[in-house]
A = this chain, B = another copy of it.
Amino acid sequence: MGRTTLKSLAQALNMSVSTVSKALNDSYEISEATKKRVREFAKKHNYQPNVLAQSLKTGKTQTLGVVLPKMTSPFESQILEGMQQTASQHHYRIVIMNSMEDEELEKQALQSMLDKAVDGILFCPIHESSNIELAGKIMEDTPIVIFDRTNYALETHKIGVLNAEGTYSACKHLLDIGRKRIAVFCGARQGISAIRLSGYERAHQEFDIPIDTEYIVHCNVSSISELHIDMERHIERLLSLPFPPDAIVGVADTITTHLLGVLAKMGVAVPETLAVIGFANTDLAFSLNPSLSTIRQPTRDIGEISVNKLVEVINKRHRNQIAWEDIKLPTSIQFRRSTVGKA
Protein backbone atom coordinates (compact mmCIF):
# COMPACT_ATOMS: atom_id res chain seq x y z
CA MET A 1 0.00 0.00 0.00
CA GLY A 2 1.27 3.45 -0.88
CA ARG A 3 1.42 6.26 1.61
CA THR A 4 -1.49 8.62 2.05
CA THR A 5 -0.62 11.89 0.37
CA LEU A 6 -2.53 15.02 -0.35
CA LYS A 7 -3.17 13.66 -3.79
CA SER A 8 -4.60 10.36 -2.61
CA LEU A 9 -6.80 12.18 -0.13
CA ALA A 10 -8.02 14.55 -2.80
CA GLN A 11 -8.84 11.70 -5.12
CA ALA A 12 -10.76 9.80 -2.47
CA LEU A 13 -12.64 12.89 -1.34
CA ASN A 14 -13.23 13.96 -4.90
CA MET A 15 -11.74 17.40 -4.57
CA SER A 16 -8.59 19.16 -5.60
CA VAL A 17 -5.23 18.84 -3.90
CA SER A 18 -5.10 22.48 -3.01
CA THR A 19 -8.45 22.35 -1.27
CA VAL A 20 -7.28 19.50 0.88
CA SER A 21 -4.01 21.26 1.58
CA LYS A 22 -5.75 24.45 2.58
CA ALA A 23 -8.29 22.61 4.67
CA LEU A 24 -5.58 20.84 6.64
CA ASN A 25 -3.71 24.10 7.08
CA ASP A 26 -6.88 25.66 8.42
CA SER A 27 -7.02 28.30 5.70
CA TYR A 28 -9.66 30.98 6.01
CA GLU A 29 -10.80 30.40 2.47
CA ILE A 30 -12.18 26.95 3.21
CA SER A 31 -15.62 26.31 4.68
CA GLU A 32 -15.92 24.74 8.09
CA ALA A 33 -17.88 21.88 6.61
CA THR A 34 -15.19 20.79 4.17
CA LYS A 35 -12.48 21.40 6.70
CA LYS A 36 -14.16 19.01 9.05
CA ARG A 37 -14.73 16.42 6.36
CA VAL A 38 -11.13 16.59 5.21
CA ARG A 39 -9.68 16.53 8.68
CA GLU A 40 -11.68 13.53 9.71
CA PHE A 41 -10.89 11.63 6.56
CA ALA A 42 -7.22 12.49 6.87
CA LYS A 43 -7.14 11.37 10.48
CA LYS A 44 -8.91 8.14 9.65
CA HIS A 45 -6.31 7.28 7.05
CA ASN A 46 -3.73 8.73 9.36
CA TYR A 47 -2.24 11.10 6.91
CA GLN A 48 1.22 12.38 7.78
CA PRO A 49 2.49 15.20 5.63
CA ASN A 50 5.80 14.44 3.99
CA VAL A 51 8.16 16.71 5.86
CA LEU A 52 10.69 16.57 3.05
CA ALA A 53 8.30 18.00 0.55
CA GLN A 54 7.15 20.53 3.09
CA SER A 55 10.70 21.57 3.79
CA LEU A 56 11.59 21.77 0.16
CA LYS A 57 8.68 24.05 -0.40
CA THR A 58 8.92 26.25 2.65
CA GLY A 59 12.67 26.29 3.10
CA LYS A 60 12.25 25.35 6.74
CA THR A 61 13.35 21.95 7.97
CA GLN A 62 12.29 22.14 11.62
CA THR A 63 15.66 20.67 12.39
CA LEU A 64 18.46 22.01 14.56
CA GLY A 65 22.03 20.81 14.19
CA VAL A 66 24.33 20.33 17.14
CA VAL A 67 28.09 20.25 16.62
CA LEU A 68 30.09 19.44 19.71
CA PRO A 69 33.50 17.95 20.54
CA LYS A 70 32.34 15.00 22.59
CA MET A 71 29.27 13.61 24.21
CA THR A 72 30.28 10.90 26.63
CA SER A 73 30.60 12.79 29.84
CA PRO A 74 27.52 13.68 31.86
CA PHE A 75 28.18 17.36 31.30
CA GLU A 76 27.57 17.13 27.58
CA SER A 77 24.75 14.64 27.75
CA GLN A 78 22.92 16.82 30.24
CA ILE A 79 23.22 19.74 27.86
CA LEU A 80 22.08 17.58 24.99
CA GLU A 81 19.07 16.38 26.91
CA GLY A 82 18.15 19.95 27.73
CA MET A 83 18.44 20.89 24.10
CA GLN A 84 16.48 17.91 22.96
CA GLN A 85 13.57 18.64 25.25
CA THR A 86 13.42 22.32 24.52
CA ALA A 87 13.70 21.76 20.81
CA SER A 88 10.90 19.28 21.04
CA GLN A 89 8.68 21.90 22.63
CA HIS A 90 9.35 24.21 19.71
CA HIS A 91 8.59 21.35 17.32
CA TYR A 92 12.17 21.04 16.25
CA ARG A 93 14.15 17.88 16.00
CA ILE A 94 17.83 17.63 16.66
CA VAL A 95 20.63 16.08 14.66
CA ILE A 96 23.93 15.64 16.41
CA MET A 97 27.35 15.72 14.85
CA ASN A 98 30.34 14.82 16.96
CA SER A 99 33.53 16.66 16.10
CA MET A 100 35.53 14.45 18.48
CA GLU A 101 37.84 17.36 19.30
CA ASP A 102 39.16 17.12 15.75
CA GLU A 103 39.20 20.24 13.62
CA GLU A 104 38.83 18.38 10.33
CA LEU A 105 35.83 16.44 11.58
CA GLU A 106 34.39 19.65 12.90
CA LYS A 107 34.75 21.16 9.48
CA GLN A 108 32.95 18.26 7.87
CA ALA A 109 30.19 18.50 10.45
CA LEU A 110 29.66 22.18 9.78
CA GLN A 111 29.88 21.65 6.03
CA SER A 112 27.18 19.03 6.15
CA MET A 113 24.93 21.56 7.82
CA LEU A 114 25.57 23.99 5.04
CA ASP A 115 23.35 22.18 2.57
CA LYS A 116 20.30 23.81 4.07
CA ALA A 117 19.27 20.69 5.93
CA VAL A 118 19.04 22.54 9.24
CA ASP A 119 17.38 25.79 10.25
CA GLY A 120 20.02 26.64 12.82
CA ILE A 121 23.15 25.36 14.49
CA LEU A 122 24.15 24.90 18.11
CA PHE A 123 27.90 24.97 18.12
CA CYS A 124 30.50 24.16 20.74
CA PRO A 125 33.84 24.74 19.01
CA ILE A 126 37.00 22.73 19.48
CA HIS A 127 38.90 25.85 20.39
CA GLU A 128 38.79 29.61 20.24
CA SER A 129 39.23 29.94 16.51
CA SER A 130 38.48 26.54 15.04
CA ASN A 131 36.81 26.79 11.64
CA ILE A 132 35.99 30.37 12.35
CA GLU A 133 35.83 31.56 8.73
CA LEU A 134 33.57 28.67 7.81
CA ALA A 135 31.30 29.41 10.74
CA GLY A 136 31.17 33.04 9.71
CA LYS A 137 30.21 32.09 6.19
CA ILE A 138 27.51 29.72 7.34
CA MET A 139 26.08 32.44 9.53
CA GLU A 140 25.30 34.47 6.45
CA ASP A 141 22.23 32.35 5.95
CA THR A 142 21.98 29.92 8.84
CA PRO A 143 21.95 31.21 12.44
CA ILE A 144 24.52 29.83 14.83
CA VAL A 145 24.50 29.92 18.60
CA ILE A 146 27.65 29.15 20.57
CA PHE A 147 27.38 27.22 23.79
CA ASP A 148 29.77 26.22 26.57
CA ARG A 149 33.03 27.33 24.97
CA THR A 150 31.97 30.88 24.49
CA ASN A 151 35.41 32.37 24.01
CA TYR A 152 34.92 32.14 20.28
CA ALA A 153 35.32 35.13 18.04
CA LEU A 154 32.00 34.97 16.24
CA GLU A 155 29.40 37.70 16.53
CA THR A 156 26.36 35.85 17.74
CA HIS A 157 24.50 34.67 20.81
CA LYS A 158 26.67 32.80 23.27
CA ILE A 159 25.55 30.78 26.24
CA GLY A 160 28.06 29.69 28.84
CA VAL A 161 28.76 30.02 32.52
CA LEU A 162 30.60 32.39 34.80
CA ASN A 163 33.72 30.29 34.77
CA ALA A 164 35.96 32.64 36.69
CA GLU A 165 33.23 33.11 39.29
CA GLY A 166 33.04 29.38 39.82
CA THR A 167 36.69 29.00 40.62
CA TYR A 168 36.59 32.17 42.68
CA SER A 169 33.77 30.86 44.86
CA ALA A 170 35.50 27.54 45.32
CA CYS A 171 38.68 29.28 46.45
CA LYS A 172 36.76 31.61 48.69
CA HIS A 173 35.07 28.61 50.29
CA LEU A 174 38.45 27.00 50.92
CA LEU A 175 39.92 30.19 52.32
CA ASP A 176 36.87 30.64 54.52
CA ILE A 177 37.35 27.23 56.09
CA GLY A 178 40.98 27.95 56.72
CA ARG A 179 42.73 26.39 53.77
CA LYS A 180 45.23 29.02 52.77
CA ARG A 181 47.55 27.06 50.50
CA ILE A 182 45.48 26.16 47.49
CA ALA A 183 46.85 24.34 44.49
CA VAL A 184 44.97 24.40 41.22
CA PHE A 185 44.93 21.66 38.60
CA CYS A 186 44.28 22.91 35.09
CA GLY A 187 44.09 21.36 31.66
CA ALA A 188 45.39 23.30 28.69
CA ARG A 189 46.98 26.70 29.13
CA GLN A 190 44.35 28.42 27.07
CA GLY A 191 40.61 28.60 26.64
CA ILE A 192 38.20 27.94 29.45
CA SER A 193 40.95 26.62 31.67
CA ALA A 194 42.71 29.99 31.60
CA ILE A 195 39.51 31.85 32.39
CA ARG A 196 38.78 29.62 35.32
CA LEU A 197 42.31 30.12 36.54
CA SER A 198 41.70 33.85 36.67
CA GLY A 199 39.07 33.30 39.36
CA TYR A 200 41.74 31.57 41.40
CA GLU A 201 43.93 34.62 41.05
CA ARG A 202 41.21 37.05 41.96
CA ALA A 203 40.34 35.17 45.13
CA HIS A 204 43.94 35.27 46.23
CA GLN A 205 44.21 38.96 45.52
CA GLU A 206 41.12 39.70 47.49
CA PHE A 207 42.36 37.73 50.47
CA ASP A 208 45.79 39.24 50.09
CA ILE A 209 47.45 35.92 49.68
CA PRO A 210 50.44 35.73 47.36
CA ILE A 211 50.21 33.11 44.66
CA ASP A 212 52.82 30.40 44.68
CA THR A 213 53.40 29.51 41.04
CA GLU A 214 54.45 26.05 42.12
CA TYR A 215 50.82 25.52 43.03
CA ILE A 216 49.56 26.11 39.53
CA VAL A 217 49.59 22.74 37.81
CA HIS A 218 48.94 22.04 34.16
CA CYS A 219 48.06 18.41 33.70
CA ASN A 220 48.59 16.26 30.66
CA VAL A 221 45.04 15.46 29.62
CA SER A 222 45.89 13.70 26.37
CA SER A 223 44.52 10.46 27.79
CA ILE A 224 43.13 9.14 31.03
CA SER A 225 46.17 7.02 31.81
CA GLU A 226 48.51 9.92 31.04
CA LEU A 227 46.41 12.09 33.29
CA HIS A 228 46.67 9.64 36.16
CA ILE A 229 50.43 9.37 35.84
CA ASP A 230 50.87 13.08 35.54
CA MET A 231 48.63 13.88 38.46
CA GLU A 232 50.39 11.40 40.70
CA ARG A 233 53.70 12.97 39.81
CA HIS A 234 52.45 16.45 40.57
CA ILE A 235 50.86 15.44 43.86
CA GLU A 236 54.08 13.84 45.01
CA ARG A 237 55.97 16.96 44.10
CA LEU A 238 53.51 19.25 45.84
CA LEU A 239 53.45 17.23 49.04
CA SER A 240 57.20 17.27 49.29
CA LEU A 241 57.43 21.04 49.05
CA PRO A 242 58.58 22.92 52.15
CA PHE A 243 55.12 24.43 52.25
CA PRO A 244 52.82 21.82 50.74
CA PRO A 245 49.31 22.86 49.73
CA ASP A 246 46.36 21.92 51.89
CA ALA A 247 43.74 22.02 49.15
CA ILE A 248 43.33 21.43 45.43
CA VAL A 249 40.88 22.98 43.01
CA GLY A 250 40.16 21.11 39.78
CA VAL A 251 39.11 23.27 36.87
CA ALA A 252 37.59 20.58 34.67
CA ASP A 253 35.25 17.66 35.22
CA THR A 254 37.70 14.98 34.19
CA ILE A 255 40.49 16.43 36.28
CA THR A 256 38.44 16.82 39.42
CA THR A 257 36.88 13.39 39.47
CA HIS A 258 40.00 11.50 38.53
CA LEU A 259 42.00 13.51 41.00
CA LEU A 260 40.00 11.96 43.79
CA GLY A 261 40.74 8.50 42.47
CA VAL A 262 44.45 9.17 42.25
CA LEU A 263 44.54 10.57 45.77
CA ALA A 264 42.69 7.52 47.07
CA LYS A 265 45.13 5.22 45.33
CA MET A 266 48.07 7.13 46.79
CA GLY A 267 46.55 6.95 50.24
CA VAL A 268 46.38 10.70 50.67
CA ALA A 269 43.75 11.64 53.25
CA VAL A 270 40.94 13.81 51.90
CA PRO A 271 40.13 16.33 53.23
CA GLU A 272 42.59 15.98 56.13
CA THR A 273 45.77 16.32 54.09
CA LEU A 274 44.24 17.86 51.01
CA ALA A 275 40.77 19.27 50.62
CA VAL A 276 39.39 18.81 47.11
CA ILE A 277 36.82 20.77 45.17
CA GLY A 278 36.32 21.38 41.51
CA PHE A 279 34.16 21.64 38.46
CA ALA A 280 32.17 18.43 38.06
CA ASN A 281 28.69 17.72 36.83
CA THR A 282 28.46 14.08 37.70
CA ASP A 283 25.61 12.70 39.78
CA LEU A 284 28.17 10.45 41.34
CA ALA A 285 29.74 13.23 43.38
CA PHE A 286 27.67 11.91 46.24
CA SER A 287 28.91 8.37 45.80
CA LEU A 288 32.55 9.29 45.74
CA ASN A 289 34.34 8.70 49.02
CA PRO A 290 34.71 11.18 50.44
CA SER A 291 31.74 12.69 48.73
CA LEU A 292 32.98 15.43 46.46
CA SER A 293 32.41 19.15 46.83
CA THR A 294 31.62 20.40 43.36
CA ILE A 295 31.20 23.46 41.24
CA ARG A 296 28.18 22.64 39.17
CA GLN A 297 27.23 24.13 35.84
CA PRO A 298 23.55 24.55 35.01
CA THR A 299 23.76 22.17 32.07
CA ARG A 300 20.05 21.83 31.53
CA ASP A 301 19.69 25.61 31.40
CA ILE A 302 22.57 25.94 28.97
CA GLY A 303 20.79 23.55 26.62
CA GLU A 304 17.43 25.14 27.09
CA ILE A 305 18.53 28.75 26.69
CA SER A 306 20.71 27.94 23.70
CA VAL A 307 17.77 26.45 21.88
CA ASN A 308 15.43 29.24 22.87
CA LYS A 309 17.86 31.87 21.64
CA LEU A 310 18.47 30.01 18.42
CA VAL A 311 14.79 29.59 17.68
CA GLU A 312 14.33 33.26 18.44
CA VAL A 313 16.90 34.20 15.82
CA ILE A 314 15.45 31.78 13.31
CA ASN A 315 12.07 33.43 13.63
CA LYS A 316 13.46 36.92 13.41
CA ARG A 317 12.73 38.77 10.20
CA HIS A 318 15.80 40.95 10.00
CA ARG A 319 18.85 39.13 11.13
CA ASN A 320 21.13 42.06 10.80
CA GLN A 321 21.16 44.38 13.74
CA ILE A 322 20.34 41.82 16.38
CA ALA A 323 21.86 42.72 19.71
CA TRP A 324 23.92 39.62 20.34
CA GLU A 325 23.99 38.44 23.91
CA ASP A 326 26.88 36.85 25.74
CA ILE A 327 24.99 35.05 28.45
CA LYS A 328 26.95 33.79 31.43
CA LEU A 329 24.96 31.64 33.81
CA PRO A 330 26.05 31.37 37.43
CA THR A 331 27.55 28.15 38.68
CA SER A 332 26.53 26.67 42.00
CA ILE A 333 28.65 25.07 44.65
CA GLN A 334 27.76 22.02 46.64
CA PHE A 335 29.78 21.49 49.76
CA ARG A 336 30.47 17.89 50.57
CA ARG A 337 32.95 15.96 52.64
CA SER A 338 35.94 16.43 50.38
CA THR A 339 36.27 19.95 51.72
CA VAL A 340 34.27 20.19 54.93
CA GLY A 341 35.04 16.72 56.30
CA LYS A 342 32.66 14.67 58.40
CA ALA A 343 30.75 17.76 59.44
Interface set of A (CB-CB < 8 Å, partner B): 3, 48-53, 55-56, 61, 63, 70-74, 76-78, 80-81, 84-85, 88, 93-98, 100, 111-112, 114-117, 224, 257-258, 260-262, 264-265, 282-284, 286-291
Q: Report copies per complex.
A: 2
Residues B50 and A53 in contact, CB atoms below 8 Å apart:
no
Known contacts A50-B116, A52-B61, A260-B289; 12 further A-B pairs (Cβ under 8 A): A48-B115, A50-B115, A51-B116, A52-B116, A63-B95, A72-B74, A72-B77, A88-B98, A93-B112, A95-B96, A261-B287, A261-B291
Expressed in whole angstroms, the minimum distance between the Cβ of A53 and any Cβ of chain B is: 6
Nearest residue in B to A100 (C-beta to C-beta)?
A: B85
Nearest residue in B to A85 (C-beta to C-beta)?
A: B98
Residues A56 and B52 in contact, CB atoms below 8 Å apart:
yes
Q: List 22 A-B contacts (CB under 8 A).
A: A3-B116, A51-B115, A52-B52, A52-B56, A52-B117, A53-B56, A71-B81, A72-B78, A74-B77, A81-B98, A84-B98, A88-B97, A93-B97, A258-B287, A260-B287, A261-B284, A261-B286, A261-B287, A261-B289, A264-B290, A284-B288, A289-B289
Residues B261 and A114 in contact, CB atoms below 8 Å apart:
no
Residues A94 and B95 in contact, CB atoms below 8 Å apart:
yes
Nearest residue in B to A49 (C-beta to C-beta)?
A: B115
Known: A72-B78, A114-B48. A94 touches B96 (CB 8 A): yes
Instruction: Give the residues in chain B near A287, CB-CB below 8 Å.
Output: 257-258, 260-262, 264, 288
Expressed in whole angstroms, the minimum distance between the Cβ of A339 and any Cβ of chain B is: 16
Instruction: Give the residues in chain B near A95, CB-CB below 8 Å.
Output: 63, 93-96
Instruction: Give the residues in chain B near A61, CB-CB below 8 Å.
Output: 52
Residues B84 and A96 in contact, CB atoms below 8 Å apart:
yes
Residues B71 and A77 in contact, CB atoms below 8 Å apart:
yes
Instruction: Give the residues in chain B near A265, CB-CB below 8 Å.
Output: 291
Q: In the bound complex, what is the Cα–Cα distance between A258 and B291 (angstroms)? A: 11
Q: In the bound complex, what is the Cα–Cα distance between A96 and B261 (angstroms)? A: 33
Residues A264 and B284 in contact, CB atoms below 8 Å apart:
no
Instruction: Give the residues in chain B near A50, CB-CB below 8 Å.
Output: 56, 115-116
Q: Which of B71, B97, B116 contacts A80 (CB 8 A)?
A: B71
Instruction: Give the residues in chain B near A117, CB-CB below 8 Å.
Output: 51-52
Q: Which of B56, B85, B94 contacts A56 (CB 8 A)?
A: B56
Instruction: Give the residues in chain B near A73, CB-CB below 8 Å.
Output: 74, 77
Nearest residue in B to A109 (C-beta to C-beta)?
A: B88
Nearest residue in B to A265 (C-beta to C-beta)?
A: B291
Q: In the bound complex, what is the Cα–Cα distance between A93 and B94 (angstroms)? A: 11
Nearest residue in B to A270 (C-beta to C-beta)?
A: B289
Expressed in whole angstroms, the minimum distance between the Cβ of A140 and any Cβ of chain B is: 9
Instruction: Give the residues in chain B near A282, CB-CB below 8 Å.
Output: 284
Expressed in whole angstroms, the minimum distance between the Cβ of A281 and any Cβ of chain B is: 10
Q: In the bound complex, what is the Cα–Cα distance between A211 and B76 (angstroms)? A: 42
Q: In the bound complex, what is the Cα–Cα distance between A125 and B21 (angstroms)? A: 35
Nearest residue in B to A140 (C-beta to C-beta)?
A: B1
Instruction: Give the residues in chain B near A71, CB-CB below 8 Å.
Output: 77, 80-81, 84
In this complex, the member of A61, A78, A81, A289 whose beta carbon has the largest number of chain B beta carbons within 10 angstroms is A289
Expressed in whole angstroms, the minimum distance between the Cβ of A155 and any Cβ of chain B is: 20
